[in-house]
Structure 1
Amino acid sequence: FIVLEDSVEIAAEKNGRMLDFKATREAILKSLPPTGEKTLIAAVIKEIRPPVTKDKLLELGINSLMASFETSYNPAQTGRAHNIALSAASLNETIILHGEEFSFLENIGEISHESGYQSAPIIVNNKIVDGVGGGVCQTSSTLYNAALLANLEISERHNHSLRVAYLPAGLDATVTQNGPDLKFINNREHALLLTAVAENGRLEIKIFGQKMKERVQISTKIVKEYALPAKYIVDPQLKPGETVTVQNGIKGYEVSVWRNVFLNGEHLRSENISYDRYRAVPAVYRIAREETVNQQAEHVREAAAAN
């Protein structure tokens, strides 16, 4: 495949050549002079036909861009950026045949230090901690959105327990080794080709197949938004008015996600893709012993307003 911006071209195959060891050995044994003098013996070369031909690739029916989706990440977070690039490379140039179910975890393989992944922030038990493979979920989430826009059938998808920063609530797809996966079915009458490129803080995933007749629009609606009261820990080593942030608060959400399909400018159908719940996490502060919680809370609000 020769992948262009919004189309795919297929290059003709070329036969290869390699040394025929058996035939060359026989030629050498037959041609060796009995006296042991030097002589030149031509090596036997055989032609090799490629296992995949242009005609076979044409039968897959892949020629046009169907959908693409892009997210951003911070290249300065080296471990996370590395994991995004590594998982994207595993996706790149993947072919999904008609009727086949694609599994993200099966495609990228084991997420471990041994397979090249590094430690970076991940969500575990509603907390952000360091763990192997942090950032891989951004790749799965980006692919999820591309699959939605390509109007593919989503067979498995799970949201994070906490809202992520790189996508609106309801549009993420968490994956965990031996746990939640992202799966979708190629319900098209042709094969699909995935491309994934991560560089310079930009991750783009494209799905190629045949030009779509329908247009897909994804909409999200926040049904509920809430926050938990902050928690305060008395620290006798702090001076009055001094505050130390132990943990930033994270809002909780309930989100409804819909896929709307249009054909020839007319609304064809609406599909409720998911109803997701994200937990809230309270902010935690260390405060001076001499102050009441109400006084310290006021200091926290004043500091936040000043920033």
Structure 2
Amino acid sequence: MHAPAQTSWFGSRAGKAWFGIRANGLRALRLIEDIAAPAGRRPASLAYRPAAGDDEGRVLAESVSPLWTSLFDDRSALVAGKVQNLRVAATKLDGLHFAAGDVFSFWKAVGRPTERRGYVEGRELREGCMISSIGGGLCQLSNALYSAALDAGMRIVERHPHSQVVPGSLAERGRDATVFWNYLDLRFRCERAFAIEARLTQDRLIVRFRGDAAPRREASSRPALRAALVGDPAPAPDDCGDCAQGECVQRFEPAPRSRSTGYLLDEMWPEFDRWIAGRLRSGDFASVPMDGVRRKRPNYAWNSVRNEGVRLVEHRWLALRRSLASRRLQAQGAARQRRLLAFDREFARAFAKAVPYDAEQLVVPVGMLAELVRTGVLGGRRYAVLMTRAPIAMLQRDLDRAAALHPESPTLADFRADEALVRLEETGLGNADSIVTPHTAVADYAGRYGVPVERLEWVFPEFAGKASQGKSLLFPASALGRKGAYEVREACAELGLEVRVLGSASEGEGFWRGTKARAAAPGDIFADVGCVVLPAYVEHRPGLLLKALAAGIPVICSPECGLPAQLPATTVVPAGDARRLVEALKAMDLA
């Protein structure tokens, strides 16, 4: 790097003040110009709707650039800040639609970069130096947009090249466009309607234009509103880490990235608690509904995240609101599912706001995954997904199969998630660093995403003594089709077995008519039980099956319950196969 001329303490501050005066004057001038600008140069009104991938038309152009480079130390907190700024700005662009003839304006779409809007200190090229500024790094996004606009044959209305070339950037190929609120803008116009996709993967910024096929022509441009520098490329910019300007007001000491991991957690699973305990380190961050250990709430009692040096953030009022709302909802049905999905989105947004911008990795539950993908929080980060339930695509496949077998059921087809939600979740799973689950069926299904699947061992609950075994069956669920109630009813009617039902919800009044069915004992549910049966189509967490096995009671279940087939005292039968269930019950000798 070249050595800049030495500047005094006073000269540095005077220069900064003069720069601010000039910038504010140019901002005022830009506002006046935009008001007076003709229609062909005036920015279009913004029309947003979520981009739908291939449904939005063919890809007109694409620009892909790395988020992390070795030119400026990729351990620097400013590089992490740049990535955070790209996350925020990309969400403003992703899904924008423009009609034929509309003028795109970078600042109209992105808005002013301020701390209140989520922007942080990032690296910015200003007057030959890489400095720290709020919103620094957005030029990587404007470069990508300009490059894609050229490839798509857009008409360039306004563009400003950088004053110096950053090695490895698009400026080396003349495809850069610097921006500075609000007077240095990037603007272009397309003769056909188009949509913008702007997304961050773990290590890349991807910008795509989609639309109908358009005649290919070379892009043309008009002169920029302000003169651009002409001549040979300037030397590579200086960086505060190597600069001798000790008196410079812009000087900062580059700080290392934290490289911390953020854990976004909901209901406690002992399997995941044990997994996290082996990975947690000082400096990590955890966001939970509440500290269940301290507040004596077992369903939120994550022991692993209470280590010294781990920052714990609670969302107690949101957890309380969800708890109260859940109690008022019916035990099952479409309304309940919609409300619970809405709470998943609320928790995801609340947790996302608490994530430190420089967190390098995240661990997230699958229920929050779709919203975290939509809001861009996962961009530029590695992340693992805790499968606290099956993927929605798997759930709906299994429910469709059950509904086809039992078309008379009022519950099996009463709710299906929105396609956009399913698509976002599938995208998140496909881009994950790993998928973590103790559920064997979910682990097998997750293989289709092409990412590593870490299969955990189930944690058996403690059970004092051994249950007294009898001749009754225990059905540890409500009488619902998705839990295999139709198959259990058919088998018990044929064999004349007594069945004890744990839940209160039902497929309908008189569902168990013709069988010896009664409610399970409210105290000891395993009293006089000879076998626990759950041939479910959907079962996320087989806690009662594990408890029965710990008590020495044999279990008959479907693969969808997630237990390994080789587990002792466990018989696995296919969901929906009443004949196989009858055969398995006969082998139990319960008559």
Aligned match of 1:137: 139
Match of 1:103 in 2: 105
2:114 partner amino acid: S
* Higher RCO, Cα 8 Å, sep 6+: 1
1:67 maps to which residue? Answer: 61
What letter matches 2:128 in structure 1? N
Q: Distance in 1 between matches of 2:148 and 2:166?
A: 18
Aligned-residue offset at 1:279: 2.4
**C-alpha separation in 1, matches of 2:143 and 2:152:** 14
* Change in CA separation of 1:143 and 1:94 when aligned onto 2, cut-off 3 Å: same
Q: Given the alignment of the two structures, is residue 93 of structure 1 paired with residue 87 of structure 2, yes or no?
A: no
Q: Provide, for residues 51-103 of structure 1, a one-character-per-residue CA deviation record: whole Å limited to 9, x for no partner.
A: xxxxxxxxxxx522211111112175210111112111111000111111110
- 1:207-218 to 2 correspondence within 5 Å? 207-214=209-216
Write out aligned runs for 1:140-151 (5 A): 140-151=142-153
- The corresponding residue for 1:158 is 160
Normalised by the length of structure 2, the TM-score is 0.28
CA distance in 1 between partners of 2:158 and 2:52 (Å):
28
How many angstroms apart in 1 are the aligned matches of 2:202 and 2:177? Answer: 23
Correspondence for 1:3: 52
Contact 1:163 1:169 in 2 (8 A): no
Cα distance change of structure 1 residues 211 and 285 upon mapping to structure 2, 3 Å threshold:
closer
Query: 1:187 is matched with which residue: 191, 212, 217?
Result: 191
**1:173-197 deviations in Å (ceiling 9; x for gaps):** 1000122100001222xx1110110
Aligned counterpart for 1:114 among listed residues 107, 113, 116: 116
Contact 2:51-2:95 at 8 Å conserved across structures:
no
Structure 1: 5+ residue stretches without partners:
9-61, 215-260, 262-268, 287-307
Equivalent residues in 2 for 1:139-288, closer than 5 Å: 139-165=141-167, 166-167=169-170, 168-188=172-192, 191-214=193-216, 261=217, 277=231, 278-280=233-235
Task: Provide the residue aligned with 2:10 in structure 1.
Answer: none
Aligned equivalents of 1:66, 1:175: Cα separation in 2? 24
Aligned length: 176
Separation (CA, whole Å) in 2 of partners of 1:131 and 1:117: 10
C-alpha separation in 1, matches of 2:102 and 2:200? 26
Decide whether the 8 Å contact of 1:64 with 1:210 is kept in 2.
Answer: yes
For 1:138, what is the secondary structure of its paired residue?
helix
Higher helix fraction (1 or 2):
2
Aligned counterparts of 2:175 and 2:116: Cα–Cα separation in 1? 30
Code of the residue aligned with 1:104 in structure 2: it is F
- Alignment CA distance shift 1:2-1:125 (3 Å): closer
Measure the CA separation in 1 of the matches of 2:237 and 2:84.
31
Q: Shift of the alpha carbon at 1:281?
A: 6.0
Give the match for residue 251 of structure 1.
none
Q: Displacement, 1:209?
A: 0.8
Shift of 1:2: 5.9
Code of the residue aligned with 1:154 in structure 2: it is I
Distance 1:81 1:73 in 2: 7
In 1, Cα distance between equivalents of 2:158 and 2:128 = 21
CA shift for structure 1 position 132: 1.1
The percentage of aligned residue pairs carrying the same residue is: 27
CA distance in 1, matches of 2:219, 2:101: 23
Deviation at 1:213, TM superposition (A): 4.8
Identify if the C-alpha distance between structure 1 residues 121 and 201 changes in structure 2 by more than 3 Å, giving closer, same or farther. Answer: same
TM-score normalized with structure 1 length: 0.52
SS of the residue corresponding to residue 90 of structure 2 reads helix
Deviation of the 1:3 alpha carbon:
2.6
Shift of 1:273: 8.8
Contact 2:64 2:204 in 1 (8 A): yes
Contact 1:194 1:205 in 2 (8 A): yes
Conserved in 2, the CA contact under 8 Å of 1:80 and 1:120? yes
SS of the equivalent of 2:86 reads helix
The alpha-carbon deviation at position 285 of structure 1 amounts to 8.8
Q: Distance in 2 between matches of 1:120 and 1:270?
A: 31
> Match of 2:107, SS?
helix
For 2:243 and 2:88, the matched residues in 1 are separated by: 37
| SS of match in other structure, 2:116 | coil
**What is the alpha-carbon distance in structure 2 between the residues aligned to residue 270 and residue 142 of structure 1?**
15
